[in-house]
C-alpha cells in the first residue's frame, strides 16, 4: 500500500490501476509533525520522541486461515489485520503510533478492492491516531495475503512483558472467551485503552493478548516467566458464542458446560487481555480466573485438579 507500489522482475508493460491507486492512497494521507515525510519516497520519515521506547512487530492475515475472501469483505479484512496489530500494542500496554502494510492481491481484484482493504485499515487505526505511513502493493496469481507492521510508543508506561509473572499473582482476563469463529474474530475491539489503564494503575506483572487461546497464551506467560498456573474452571467467563458452539457440538463428548469451557480455553482469536499480578482494582469486565504457582505446569481446578493441556492454534510448517 505504498507510493513506491512494487517492482518486479518481469518485462511487463505498465498496467492501469496501480498508479491510480497510489495517487489515491497519497491523497488519503495528511502530513504531521510526527510524519514529516509520508509516502512518496522509498521510505516514510518519522520523528521519534526522545522519551519513547519504540515497540515494533508484525502480524499478517491469510485467505483461508484468518478470513475467507469469499465471505468477508475487504473492509472487514483490512480492519482485522490492523486490529490484530493494535491488539499486540495492547498486550504490551503501548500506544499505536504508525503502521506500514504490504498486500499480495489476487490479479484482477481491482482498485476498488484495494481501496476497501486500505479503508479497513483506517477504520481500525484512526480511532488510535495511528498513521498508515507506507507499504507495498503487489498483485499475483495467488490468494490474498495482507501483512501489517505496527510501531508503538511507550508514552510514559513501561512495556509489560510476558516474563514478569510471580508465584502468588492472580491471573485475569478482560472479557468472556470462546467461539470467536462465529464472527467476533473479524469484529473485535483491541483493548488498548484498558491495557494502558491497567498498566498505569500498577500491579500488572505480565500480559499477553489472547490470540492463540487462553490455555496456550497462558502457557506463553508461564514459560517466559518460569512459573506454573492453576485456572479455576468455574471462574473462566464463557462467551455466548462458546455456549452456542457447545450446543452445536452434538457429536462431541462431555456435558454442554464442559464443551463451552473447552471452547473458552482453546478457541483463540478472543483478543481479550490475559494478565497476571495484583491489580489495585478491577475495571468492569475484568475477572480473576486463577493463580500463578511456583511449580511449573498448568492445572485446571474443576471439582479437583487436573492437568491443563495447552490447546489452540499452531501453524504446521
Restricted to residues 16-35, the positions that interact with a second copy (CB under 8 A) are: 16-19, 21
Q: Does 82 bind a second copy (CB under 8 A)?
A: no
Which residue in 130, 132, 151, 227 binds a second copy (CB under 8 A)? 151
Least spacing, CB of residue 124 vs a second copy, in Å: 17
Contact status, residue 78 vs residue 124, Cβ threshold 8 Å: yes
Least spacing, CB of residue 177 vs a second copy, in Å: 14
Q: Does 138 bind a second copy (CB under 8 A)?
A: yes
Question: What is d(CA 275, CA 259) in angstroms, rounded to the nearest whole number?
Answer: 24
Restricted to residues 206-245, the positions that interact with a second copy (CB under 8 A) are: 208-209, 211-212, 216, 224
* Distance of alpha carbon 176 from the chain centroid: 16
Which residue in 278, 294, 297, 313 binds a second copy (CB under 8 A)? 313
Restricted to residues 271-300, the positions that interact with a second copy (CB under 8 A) are: none
Q: Does 98 bind a second copy (CB under 8 A)?
A: yes
**Which residue, 96 or 170, has its beta carbon nearer to a second copy?**
96
Q: Of 90, 66, 94, nearest to 78 (Cα)?
A: 66
If you write DSSP's letter for every residue of 222-281 in order, what string do you get?
HHHHT-EEEEEGGGSPBPHHHHHHHHH-TTSSS-HHHHHHHHHHH------EEEEE--SS
Which residue in 181, 201, 235, 282 binds a second copy (CB under 8 A)? 181
Q: Does 135 bind a second copy (CB under 8 A)?
A: yes
Q: Of 160, 282, 302, nearest to 230 (Cα)?
A: 302
Which residue in 77, 82, 92, 242 binds a second copy (CB under 8 A)? 92
Question: What is d(CA 193, CA 95) in angstroms, rounded to the nearest whole number?
Answer: 9
**Which residue, 145 or 173, has its beta carbon nearer to a second copy?**
145
Cell readout for 115 is: 481501496
Contact status, residue 106 vs residue 154, Cβ threshold 8 Å: no
Contact status, residue 144 vs residue 104, Cβ threshold 8 Å: yes
Stretch that binds a second copy, among 119-127, 138-146, 274-282, 295-303 (CB under 8 A): 138-146
Question: What is d(CA 139, CA 167) in angstroms, rounded to the nearest whole number?
Answer: 51
**Which residue, 2 or 124, has its beta carbon nearer to a second copy?**
2
> Which secondary structure element, helix H or strand E, spans residue 95, and what is its range?
strand 95-106
By CB under 8 A, how many residues form the interface with a second copy? 106
Amino acid at each position: 500500500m505504498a507510493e513506491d507500489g512494487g517492482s518486479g522482475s518481469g518485462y511487463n508493460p505498465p498496467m492501469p490501476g496501480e498508479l491510480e491507486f497510489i495517487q489515491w492512497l497519497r491523497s488519503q494521507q495528511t502530513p504531521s509533525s510526527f510524519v514529516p515525510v509520508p509516502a512518496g519516497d522509498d521510505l516514510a520519515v518519522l520523528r521519534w520522541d526522545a522519551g519513547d521506547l519504540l515497540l515494533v512487530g508484525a502480524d499478517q492475515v491469510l485467505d483461508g486461515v484468518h478470513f475467507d475472501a469469499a465471505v468477508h469483505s475487504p473492509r472487514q479484512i483490512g480492519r482485522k489485520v490492523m486490529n490484530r496489530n493494535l491488539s499486540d500494542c495492547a498486550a504490551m500496554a503501548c500506544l499505536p503510533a504508525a503502521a506500514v502494510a504490504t498486500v499480495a492481491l489476487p490479479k484482477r481484484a481491482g482498485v476498488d478492492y484495494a481501496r476497501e482493504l486500505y479503508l479497513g485499515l483506517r477504520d481500525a487505526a484512526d480511532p488510535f491516531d495511528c498513521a498508515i505511513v507506507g507499504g507495498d502493493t503487489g498483485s499475483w496469481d495467488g490468494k490474498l495475503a495482507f501483512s501489517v507492521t505496527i510501531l508503538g510508543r511507550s508514552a510514559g508506561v513501561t512495556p509489560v512483558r510476558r516474563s514478569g509473572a510471580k508465584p502468588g499473582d492472580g491471573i485475569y482476563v478482560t472479557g468472556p472467551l470462546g467461539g470467536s469463529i462465529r464472527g467476533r474474530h473479524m469484529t473485535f475491539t483491541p483493548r488498548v485503552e484498558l491495557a494502558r489503564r491497567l498498566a498505569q494503575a500498577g500491579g500488572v506483572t505480565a500480559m499477553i493478548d489472547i490470540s492463540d487461546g487462553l490455555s496456550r497464551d497462558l502457557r506463553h506467560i508461564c514459560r517466559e516467566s518460569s512459573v506454573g498456573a492453576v485456572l479455576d474452571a468455574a471462574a473462566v467467563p464463557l462467551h455466548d458464542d462458546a455456549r452456542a458452539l457447545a450446543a452445536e457440538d452434538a457429536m462431541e463428548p462431555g456435558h454442554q458446560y464442559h464443551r463451552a469451557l473447552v471452547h473458552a480455553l482453546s478457541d483463540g482469536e478472543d483478543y481479550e487481555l490475559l494478565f497476571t499480578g495484583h491489580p489495585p482494582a478491577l475495571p468492569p469486565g475484568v475477572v480473576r480466573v486463577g493463580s500463578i504457582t511456583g511449580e511449573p505446569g498448568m492445572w485446571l481446578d474443576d471439582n479437583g485438579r487436573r492437568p491443563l493441556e495447552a490447546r489452540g492454534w499452531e501453524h504446521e510448517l
